Amino acid sequence: MSDLVAHDTVGCHVFARFGQSWRLCVIADPRDGGALVAAGHVEADEDPSTTAARQILAETGHRVRLLPPPLPQDTPPSENASVWRVVPMPVAADNWCDRGHVHRESTVVGAVDRPFAVCGPAEHATRWVERGELDRLRLPDSTRGLLRDLFDVIDQASAVRPRPGRDEELRAELLRR
């Protein structure tokens, strides 16, 4: 048995439309000034969507509309309808673990409908970057690739009505009885 510690985390990719073009919200990395998206550990009483909404509000001051991943219409509702993918990532020690460990990182994507209306104090300075700026940001290459992919689909994804999660379907079914 491995004693490798694993944490559930979320990486929050927040977009807003400025005129005709979409932009991504990035925060300045407090360690080296590079660009980061809001991210955090999923706490005991949370699911990844709850963590994402909490973390985005705390780090950027924005309230987001979480978007479901672009999947075929007949895909059955999933347990967590806002998670686009889950990727295991080896990480260094953090506030939750004093040695190297693994993050099972859920990718969450959200849209801010009114980017100029900030809903609360932000922990970090944020800015909205265009797709063309990705090459100039200091980012891991894997992150850059994901961000390019998200820019490609954000217009379509933001227009999709969220599919009900399993809990909501069950609730609707119980209400019908």
User: Minimum Å distance from CB 46 to Zn ion?
Assistant: 14
Size of the site for Zn ion (CB under 5 A): 3
CA end-to-end distance (rounded Å), the chain: 47
CB of 32 to Zn ion, least distance (A): 19
- 18 versus 96: smaller Cβ distance to Zn ion: 96
- Only one residue has tokens 């119980």, namely 174
Q: Are strands 101-111 and 6-18 parallel, antiparallel or unpaired?
A: parallel
Burial classification of residue 12, based on how many CB atoms lie within 10 Å of its CB (0-12 exposed, 13-18 middle, 19 or more buried): buried
Binding map of Zn ion across residues 85-114, x = CB under 5 A, - = no contact? ---------x-x------------------
Smallest distance from Zn ion to CB 94, Å = 4
Residue placing its CB nearer to Zn ion in the complex, 94 or 133: 94
Question: What is the number of the residue whose Cβ is closest to Zn ion?
Answer: 7
**Helix or strand (DSSP H, E) at 14:** strand 6-18
The nearer residue to Zn ion, 28 or 102, going by C-beta atoms, is 102
Burial category of 35 from C-beta neighbours within 10 Å (exposed 0-12, middle 13-18, buried 19 and up) = buried
User: Restricting to residues 4-63, which ones interact with Zn ion according to CB under 5 A?
Assistant: 7
Q: Which residues are at the interface with Zn ion (CB under 5 A)?
A: 7, 94, 96
